[in-house]
Structure formats: C-alpha cells, structure tokens
Chains A and B, each alone.
Chain A
Amino acid sequence: MAKKSNICSAVEGDKLIFNTRQFYSRPPIIHDKLKKRVYPFKLGINGYVEIATPLENPSQTAVYQTSLIEKGDSIQGGVIDGWSTKPIKLPTVGAATGTHSASFGSLKGHSYAHVESAHRDHLQSSDIQARHPQLIEIINPIYD
C-alpha cells in the first residue's frame, strides 16, 4: 500500500474514503476525458483519502497515469481536491485502525483525489520540514 503526501500525489478508484476537518463541495463540471459530469470537492485544513475499492482494470480506465490505484493506497495533504462521478453523500463512521474508528466520507463511482498543498503541520513546522523536506510521515487516520 503506497502512502504519499507530496504535492500532486493522487489516488483514483471506484470508491474512495476520506476524512477531513473542512469540506467544500463545488459545482459539477463535464470532465473532458470521461465525457461525463463529475462532482468536484476540496478538503481543507488537513485531508486524507484512501482507495476502498479499486477501479476495474485501472490500467485502461484510470484518467491519470500518475494516480495510485491499489486498494489501501492513500494520500494526505493540507489541501486535497478531486472529483467523484456520483454525488457526495454524508460521511459514515468506520474502523480507521485496529483500535480507532473515524468518520469517513465516501466518494462512489470513479473518483479522483490529489494533494494540492502539503500537510498543515508540515507547512507550519520548520523542524518537520527539515527532517522531511519532500515527504512527511502519514499521520492520518490517527487524529483522535
């Protein structure tokens, strides 16, 4: 399972789960490659997105070659944006780790998420930046 947090890291799957402290939904766009309507979103403050269900035949169906595509692959960032081909619904509570649960939103249908800016802790800490200039440790989903 790949875990990434550098800018432009991305995941793509048939179902993605996410958690965040700030959620924006944006008006739909017609995706020029998929030729269908997608529902864009943005996760602010800090966001985490994980592939729950991979795409079927991702080498043929993923829009971006740079996307992580395996089940469990995840990204984390201060700001994450992306889109879902299905309307985004209310979050659900599920198991995050062996001992913790967390509130997860889900993106159903072909969905995409990518890191727009680095994790806030990273941006605000010169120490973390010094130790991890490009890539920081994945700390989500252990917020609680």
Chain B
Amino acid sequence: MNRLSTATTVMPNFFAGVHPDNDMLLRIQSGTQRNVTITSTQTQTVRDNLNEFVKQHLQDLELLRSVIFWQKRTIDYQALHTAFLLNSFSEEEFEQESEKFAVHQQDMHPEEIAAIIERIDSLTGIKFDTSDYSDYFQCSQENIMAGLQLLPHQHFADMLPSSTE
C-alpha cells in the first residue's frame, strides 16, 4: 500500500497570494524522502501555451496540405502532358484541356513569402528551386527572390544570383 495516498486537507488560503485569480493547476510529486512537492501554475498560462501549440500545429497542417494539393495538381497536369506526348490528345485538345490549369500570377508580400518558405523548408527538408516556389505561390520568380533575400540561412542566399552576375 502506498503510504503517500493519505488525504491532507489544506485551508482555502493555503495558496493565497500565489495566483491572484485563484485559478491554478497543481502538480504533485512524491519525493524519495517521503516528502511531497507541490508546484502550482496559473491555469491561464497553461491554457495559453496549449492554445499556441495547437494553433502552430494547425497552421503547419494547413501548410502541408497546401503543399500536397500543389503536388497533386502538378501530377495531374503532368499526366495530361504525358498523354499529349503519347499522342492521346491533339495539340488543340491539349490546349483546351490545359486551360483549366492556367493561372494568373499574383504579387505577394516578400515577408509572407519568406515566412512560408522558411516553414516549408523546416517541415519538409526538401530543397525546392525558385521556379518551384514560383509555381507553388503562383507568383513571379522576382517576387520569390525578394522573399528569399529576407532569409538569413546561407542555402537560401545560394538560390540568388551573386552581385557580380
């Protein structure tokens, strides 16, 4: 039988002043010397940290979903192009079918591009080229390079032309 399983009653003012709103989570640890350590944390602090973790997790999931959808779209287009190369489509039919894939490029804030590229790179570890990112973001490569210039890591700087070129 665990001798530490006895109940102890404490007075309501036991933690008085520790957390002003009296809303706390307690961690109870039994020690080797029959002593007990009680650690208190404000509930709001734990809740905020958990919420932040979940938020980041959901953002990462959404980002990875977008990468998967981008790759699926690429696969679908390449299947269409392969069919054209195999003469399953005439040039006119291919042009007509590829119409549904055509997009207008948009301008994006370099800061937004930099943040997303850095996160994709961190999550996937895959080395994409500027033209890959241009296809993903559906913006120009000049736009991508403006974003890359904001990133400190050398492997992003290596994707940019040197100043002598």
Chain A residues with CB under 8 Å of chain B are 6-8, 24-30, 32, 37, 39-40, 42, 79, 81, 86-90, 116-117, 134
Task: Tell me whether A116 and B129 are in contact (CB under 8 A).
Answer: yes
CA distance A116 to B128 in the complex (A): 11
Q: Which residue of A lies closest to B101 (CB)?
A: A27
CB contacts (< 8 Å) of B94 on chain A: these are 87
CB contacts (< 8 Å) of B164 on chain A: these are 134
CA distance A116 to B85 in the complex (A): 25
B42 at the interface (CB under 8 A from A): no
Task: Tell me whether B129 and A40 are in contact (CB under 8 A).
Answer: no
Chain B residues with CB under 8 Å of chain A are 73-74, 77-78, 81, 84-85, 91, 94-95, 98-99, 101-105, 129-132, 135, 138, 140-141, 159-162, 164-165
CA distance A6 to B102 in the complex (A): 30
CA distance A144 to B102 in the complex (A): 37
CA distance A24 to B129 in the complex (A): 12
CB contacts (< 8 Å) of A25 on chain B: these are 77-78, 81
Task: Tell me whether A27 and B77 are in contact (CB under 8 A).
Answer: yes
Tell whether A117 pairs with B129 under 8 Å between CB atoms, given A7-B165, A8-B161, A88-B81: yes
Task: Tell me whether A87 and B102 are in contact (CB under 8 A).
Answer: no
CB contacts (< 8 Å) of A89 on chain B: these are 85
Q: B154 to nearest A CB, angstroms?
A: 14
Cβ-neighbour of B102 out of A7, A30, A134 (below 8 A): A30
Besides the known contacts A7-B162, A27-B73, A37-B95, 4 further A-B residue pairs in the complex with CB atoms under 8 A apart:
A25-B78, A27-B135, A42-B132, A86-B91
CB contacts (< 8 Å) of B74 on chain A: these are 26-27
Q: A3 to nearest B CB, angstroms?
A: 15
Task: Tell me whether B165 and A8 are in contact (CB under 8 A).
Answer: yes
Q: Which residue of A lies closest to B87 (CB)?
A: A90
CA distance A26 to B95 in the complex (A): 13
Cβ-neighbour of A117 out of B101, B141, B159 (below 8 A): B159
Q: B15 to nearest A CB, angstroms?
A: 61
Q: B115 to nearest A CB, angstroms?
A: 22
Cβ-neighbour of A6 out of B78, B81, B165 (below 8 A): B165
Tell whether A32 pairs with B104 under 8 Å between CB atoms, given A25-B78, A40-B135, A87-B94: yes
Task: Tell me whether B104 and A87 are in contact (CB under 8 A).
Answer: no
- The 6 A-B pairs with the shortest beta carbon distances in the complex, nearest first, are A27-B101, A81-B131, A7-B161, A27-B77, A28-B102, A8-B161
20 contacts between A and B (CB under 8 A): A7-B160, A8-B165, A25-B78, A26-B77, A28-B98, A28-B101, A28-B103, A30-B102, A32-B105, A37-B95, A40-B135, A79-B131, A81-B131, A81-B141, A86-B91, A87-B95, A88-B81, A116-B130, A117-B129, A134-B162
